[in-house]
Chain A
Amino acid sequence: MTGPAIEIENLTKKYPFGFLNLKNRMSLEGLNMQVETGEVFGFIGPNGAGKSTAIKLLMRLIFPTAGSARILGKPISDVEMHRDIGYLPEQPYFYDYLTAAEVLDYFARFHDLTAADRKERVERMLKKVGLETARKIQLRKYVGLAQAILHDPKLVILDEPMSGLDPVGRREVRDIILELKRDGKTVMFSTHILSDAEMLCDRVGVIVGGKLRGVGAPGTLVDMKTQGMEILFELTGTSNAPLLSKATRTGDRYRLQVAEEELYAAIEQLRGAGARILSVSQVKATLEEFFMNLVEADRAQGAAVEVSGQ
């Protein structure tokens, strides 16, 4: 495979509503983008931004009002392209009457695998995604993840893979995504958690109000740049260093936020006061600030997030 894993052209989805369906709610507006082979691509945006809509369009669960897309060089209407892709829906749900192993075996049967091969893969997957120890609430997510990668697909599309998981679970999912990347797979996943995207993605696409607002490596997107530095330090006894008044104190520990260019001066001053520096970290825009900026910019331009009426 040399070409892009996913090519999306002008993909648009409107949902008609109202009496006689004369009005339209725009769910996705003219999406144009590509996901390159071998990269981890993050699709980020607030809830209801159109991430799931785009993914469902790619999976042919819903049909576009306009536009087209190709996956692994094949048009998405070609059912054979599903041989090489894995998909985890946002809220995966499986058959109550089947055990996890039976669910995986059932899905594996659609991939022309021999009985022995299916058995081996199912057992391996159950171990890999930690299903043997998973608690019930996370079980569906894990089974969903297992069925998405069971048949060794070239492209894996995950819709909110981390949502609803505890920190341990999120870590496990992150490890699985990184492992897929190491194995040369292409991964596209959607999330509204920026830190996940930053940690994992080669590139991200930001989608707000059904429109793509930017694509690039995380960190290069304007609003994701560092807002300052946070210094964590310890200080026993008292000191009259002027910076201390700006710090937040918890026992002997202090947190202090300074601008990036003032960092070294601040550290010097704190050392002079006898403080022990514990850590220095970047402060980034919170998710909320990041998206609110985009949403507000959107409103400022006079374009409503939801376009309605004809």
Chain B
Amino acid sequence: MRRAGVVALNTFREAVRDRVLYNLVFFALLMIAASVAVGQISIGIEQTVIVSLGLSAISVIGLLISVFIGVALVSKEMDKRTLYTLLAKPVRRWEFLLGKFAGLVLTLAVNTAAMALGLLLVMIYVKHTLERSDAVVLVAVYFILLKLALIVALALMFSCFTTPLLAILFTVGLYIVGLYVQELRNVPVNVMSPAMAAFTKWLSYLLPNFENFNVMAMAAHGKAVPGAFILQNTLYTVVYCAIVLTAAAAVFSRRNLK
């Protein structure tokens, strides 16, 4: 575990030095523009507009980072052969994978926290105050981070057995499908054969459920998110990531490096 920590910190350092955090400048500019623009709109919906825009930006920026850097975490080290020297150290392959995963999640956490802080500042600027109910924005940001962790795990797993380009396609594809898992569960059973219905149901539980992480509407309107739901999403992410990373480790531990 300590060795995974060493890899994680180096992954974080790589992200910082590769200027991944520069996206924050873009986010800051967007938020400043929005806060100026929102002043022109009628009073009462500033909160909705600012929160929706801010959370969407946090989510999209996070998605781009988690997919593209998530896929490159392992493939870059294989392509550049930096992995050769590393694996000759007393470090197991799964420890390397876990470290890479943790390093990018740490990067995303720092990045997301900075953006969340920016969003809160803009909310204060627009509303001149923060209310207790605004805490839901933080819950929404937390859910975005959980979602990103899951995406990183998937991107990492795909990159362990396929090319970076395909890994990106698989990850994005699975993310899009995962947004509609609920629809899959809601397909009327009577339109399918029993076997097909069973398969659909089974599939809907197997696929990552990204829909549950979206509480943007509640956040925009200041509605509280139940504590049990927060706990459920947290546990779901931890368990799902653990399964995906175990699969990734199983594949990667047997892989011949060229």
Contact = CB atoms under 8 A, between A and B. Distances in A.
Nearest to B10: A106
B10 A59 contact: no
Interface string A53-65: 0001001111100
A106 B81 CA distance: 16
Nearest to B2: A112
A60 B92 CA distance: 11
B232 interface: no
Given A61-B256, A80-B90, A82-B91, 11 more contacts: A62-B257, A63-B256, A79-B91, A82-B89, A87-B84, A87-B88, A92-B84, A94-B82, A95-B10, A98-B13, A107-B86
Q: Closest 9 interchain pairs by CB?
A: A87-B88, A110-B89, A97-B17, A82-B90, A89-B84, A62-B256, A109-B6, A61-B257, A83-B90
Interface string B221-258: 00000000000000000000000000000000010110
A138 B193 CA distance: 67
A85 B85 CA distance: 12
A87 to B, nearest CB: 4
Interface string B80-113: 1110111111111000000000000000000000
A94 B90 contact: no
Contacts of A63: 254, 256
A82 B89 CA distance: 5
A144 interface: yes
Nearest to B91: A110
B14 interface: yes
Contacts of B131: none
Contact of A111 (B17, B82, B90, B92): B90
Interface string B1-27: 001001000100110011000000000
A110 B82 contact: no
Contacts of B86: 107
A220 interface: no
Among A60, A91, A109, A111, find the residue whose CB has the most chain B CB atoms closer than 10 A.
A109
Among B17, B81, B89, find the residue whose CB has the most chain A CB atoms closer than 10 A.
B89
Interface of B: 3, 6, 10, 13-14, 17-18, 80-82, 84-92, 254, 256-257
Contacts of B84: 59, 61, 87, 89, 92
B89 to A, nearest CB: 4
Given A61-B257, A111-B90, A94 B13 contact: no
A132 B52 CA distance: 54
13 contacts: A60-B87, A61-B257, A62-B257, A83-B90, A85-B88, A89-B81, A89-B84, A91-B81, A97-B14, A106-B10, A107-B86, A111-B89, A111-B90
Interface in A142-178: 144, 147
A89 B258 CA distance: 12
Nearest to B17: A97
A61 B258 CA distance: 8
A61 B256 CA distance: 6
A93 interface: yes
A63 B85 CA distance: 16
A111 B88 CA distance: 11
Contacts of B17: 97
A79 B90 contact: yes
A144 B257 CA distance: 18
Nearest to B15: A97
A97 B13 CA distance: 9
Contacts of B89: 82, 107, 110-111
Nearest to A110: B89
Contacts of A61: 84, 87, 256-257
Given A61-B257, A92-B84, A94-B85, A106 B6 contact: yes
A43 to B, nearest CB: 17
Contact of B257 (A56, A82, A110): A56
Contacts of A79: 90-92
A89 B85 contact: yes
A240 to B, nearest CB: 63
A95 B85 contact: no
A69 to B, nearest CB: 14
A93 B87 contact: no
Contacts of B90: 79-80, 82-83, 110-111
